[in-house]
């Protein structure tokens, strides 16, 4: 028997890339690869890239440059670029970095094993098509290996929203939902392999509209079906768009016990003028009303969000409206970014805000978001929460897991194992985590 070949995958960007990397590793497993944690002993290096902000492509080129010595020492080493930079740059990557053997866009991963075989024969392979077939269906199914307690499951991909700043509709293509039966079968399989918490993924996950025997299924209906799976204890989903939060999905937050009280609902800005220029198709007020309705259904829900500061033509007055919206919502967790010009998107052509103003606004926004995060976390002290334990903590006898609200919680507990779901009383709030005692 020949020794297995080694695959090193480095993943950038969003959770969908994490999920895709797992699926690619499994597909290449069928071609004789096992994963390794270091590029040094790899037979194949795959960079799964992100294009969301500037310099992402440059980062990929410089990362590739670092592999040149490895390639010189081992000419058989294959180097591949996958993900959103592969989609956006395509052939340019092969031109600029001749040592790259294959370039594969996110919708063509099912063709990866063929491409790997081609590269093995010394032929460069490039695929950035948007084929009709369901790549996940065609990717070799997951082997029956044991899994950790949490897993991602992509249910929807692509985006038709075309926010004026964003590359995703171009790199991932238009919205496609996987059929409900395949999602349910994959969920069942994951649960049989030890998974107790699933996070459903999609660029616009709440726009999910998968085919099912009884007509099209919404995300809310899919969640209600998933909740019937014995052994699956927790369901989460990300990322949602405010315009796709329908009544049934809001109601599900109050009705489905397994649906966790955490919602990532990006708004990007608190200024209607900026929201309009961003092509978000909602207002600050409609977003605030939506949050009110969600909190009415599930009062303890933790809201998380994304913000962009310094979008073209954003004034100090626009920015103060963003700060006011943040004050009104009280976020438990947030990501905030300086606007970054993406070639080919409408906003790239507009008057840019100067860098110093962007820096200043980002600092002020992040200070406020940080205060809110700490306040929300501190208020957990004394409360009883569910914790799904994932791994040992830094200190002996300690285990760490995630609370219902997605806070990291450290607990001293004899006999706890990964996968245990227990009630915990929160006793202390630290900088980025909570501590508690088992009940």
Binding to ligand SF4 in span 231-250, by CB under 6 A: 241
Query: Residue 337 binds what, of ligand SF4, ligand SAH, ligand F3S, none (CB under 5 to 8 Å, by partner type)?
Result: ligand SAH
State the CB neighbour count (10 A cutoff) for residue 374. 13
Nearest approach, Cβ of residue 51 and ligand F3S (Å): 4
Query: Residue 308 binds what, of ligand F3S, ligand SF4, ligand SAH, none (CB under 5 to 8 Å, by partner type)?
Result: ligand SAH
State the CB neighbour count (10 A cutoff) for residue 371. 11
For ligand SF4, the closer CB: 161 or 383: 161
Binding to ligand F3S in span 159-218, by CB under 6 A: 167-168, 171-172, 203
Phi (first) and psi of residue 39, to 5 degrees = -70, -20
Ordered strands of the 302-309 beta sheet: 262-264, 302-309, 333-338
Asked if residue 50 binds ligand F3S (CB under 6 A), the reply is yes
User: Closest by alpha carbon to 214, among 184, 245, 247, 190?
Assistant: 184
Asked if residue 17 binds ligand F3S (CB under 6 A), the reply is yes
Mutual angle of helices 316-329 and 284-297, in 10-degree steps: 10
Query: Residue 339 binds what, of ligand SF4, ligand F3S, ligand SAH, none (CB under 5 to 8 Å, by partner type)?
Result: ligand SAH
Residue nearest to ligand F3S (CB): 13
- The answer to whether 120 touches 155, Cβ cutoff 8 Å, is no
334 marked ligand binding residue: no
Q: Are β-strands 209-212 and 215-218 bridged in parallel, bridged antiparallel, or unpaired? A: antiparallel
- What is the C-alpha to C-alpha distance for residues 136 and 13, in angstroms, rounded to an integer? 19
Query: Residue 169 binds what, of ligand SF4, ligand SAH, ligand F3S, none (CB under 5 to 8 Å, by partner type)?
Result: ligand SF4
- The answer to whether 83 touches 48, Cβ cutoff 8 Å, is yes
84 marked ligand binding residue: yes
- Residue 138: both structure tokens together: 């065609």
Mutual angle of helices 355-378 and 316-329, in 10-degree steps: 10
- What is the C-alpha to C-alpha distance for residues 360 and 323, in angstroms, rounded to an integer? 13
Query: Residue 17 binds what, of ligand F3S, ligand SF4, ligand SAH, none (CB under 5 to 8 Å, by partner type)?
Result: ligand F3S
Query: Residue 342 binds what, of ligand SAH, ligand SF4, ligand F3S, none (CB under 5 to 8 Å, by partner type)?
Result: ligand SAH
Asked if residue 168 binds ligand SF4 (CB under 6 A), the reply is yes
User: Closest by alpha carbon to 203, among 165, 173, 164, 234?
Assistant: 173
For ligand SAH, the closer CB: 15 or 141: 15
- 18, 52, 288, 381: which one binds ligand F3S (CB under 6 A): 52
The site for ligand SAH (CB under 6 A) is made up of: 52-53, 165-166, 168, 203-204, 239, 241, 266, 268, 306, 308, 337, 339-340, 342
Q: What is the CA radius of gyration of the chain?
A: 23
For ligand F3S, the closer CB: 156 or 271: 156
- What is the C-alpha to C-alpha distance for residues 256 and 38, in angstroms, rounded to an integer? 42
For ligand SF4, the closer CB: 71 or 161: 161
- Torsion angle of C-alpha atoms 42, 37, 105, 346, degrees rounded to 10: -130
For ligand F3S, the closer CB: 207 or 284: 207
For ligand SF4, the closer CB: 61 or 162: 162
In the three-class reduction of DSSP (H, G, I as helix; E, B as strand; rest coil), residue 167 is classed as: coil
- What is the C-alpha to C-alpha distance for residues 39 and 168, in angstroms, rounded to an integer? 28
Integer angstrom CA distances of residue 355 from 163, 193, 274, 362: 22, 49, 18, 10
Q: Which stretch binds ligand SF4 (CB under 6 A): 155-163, 193-201, 330-338, 346-354?
A: 155-163
Question: Would you tell me which residues interact with ligand SF4 (CB under 6 A)?
Answer: 159, 161-163, 166, 168-169, 203-204, 241
Question: Would you tell me which residues interact with ligand F3S (CB under 6 A)?
Answer: 13-14, 16-17, 50-52, 83-84, 167-168, 171-172, 203
Residues that constitute the known binding site: 14, 50, 84, 159, 163, 166
């Amino acid at each position: 028997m020949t020794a297995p070949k080694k695959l090193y995958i480095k993943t950038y960007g969003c959770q969908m890339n994490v999920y895709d990397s797992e699926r690619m590793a499994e597909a290449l497993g069928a071609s004789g690869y096992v994963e390794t944690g270091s590029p040094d002993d790899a037979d194949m290096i795959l960079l799964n890239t992100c294009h969301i902000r500037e310099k992402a492509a440059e980062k990929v080129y410089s990362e590739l440059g670092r592999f040149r010595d490895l390639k010189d020492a081992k000419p058989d080493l294959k180097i591949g670029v996958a993900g959103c930079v592969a989609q956006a740059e395509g052939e340019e990557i092969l031109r600029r970095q001749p040592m790259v053997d294959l370039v594969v866009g996110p919708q063509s991963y099912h063709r990866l094993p063929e491409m790997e075989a081609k590269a093995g024969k010394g032929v460069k392979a490039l695929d950035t098509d948007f084929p009709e077939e369901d790549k996940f269906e065609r990717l070799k199914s997951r082997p029956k290996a044991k899994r950790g307690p949490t897993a991602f499951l992509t249910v929807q991909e692509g985006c038709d929203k075309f926010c004026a700043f964003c590359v995703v509709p171009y790199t991932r293509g238009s919205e496609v939902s996987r059929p409900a039966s395949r999602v349910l079968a994959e969920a069942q399989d994951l649960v049989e392999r030890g998974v107790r918490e699933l996070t459903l993924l999609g660029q616009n996950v709440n726009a999910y509209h998968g085919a099912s025997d009884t007509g099209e299924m919404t995300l809310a209906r899919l969640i209600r079906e998933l909740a019937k799976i014995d052994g699956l204890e927790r369901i989460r989903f990300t990322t949602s768009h405010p315009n796709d939060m329908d009544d049934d999905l809001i109601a599900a937050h109050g009705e489905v016990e397994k649906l966790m009280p955490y919602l990532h609902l990006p708004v990007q800005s608190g200024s209607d003028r900026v929201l309009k220029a961003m092509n978000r198709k909602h207002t600050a007020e409609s977003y605030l009303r939506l949050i009110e309705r969600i909190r009415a259904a599930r009062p303890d829900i933790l809201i998380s969000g994304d913000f962009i500061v310094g979008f073209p033509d954003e004034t100090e007055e626009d920015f103060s409206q963003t700060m006011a919206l943040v004050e009104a919502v009280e976020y438990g967790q947030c990501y905030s970014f300086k606007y970054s010009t993406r070639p080919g998107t409408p906003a790239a052509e507009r008057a840019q805000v100067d860098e110093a103003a962007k820096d200043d606004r980002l600092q002020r926004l992040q200070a406020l978001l940080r205060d809110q995060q700490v306040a929300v976390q501190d208020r957990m002290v004394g409360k009883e929460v569910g914790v799904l334990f994932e791994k040992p903590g830094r200190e002996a006898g300690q285990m760490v897991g995630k609370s219902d609200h997605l806070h990291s919680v450290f607990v001293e507990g004899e006999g706890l194992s990964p996968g245990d779901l227990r009630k915990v009383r929160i006793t202390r709030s630290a900088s980025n985590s909570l501590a508690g005692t088992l009940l």
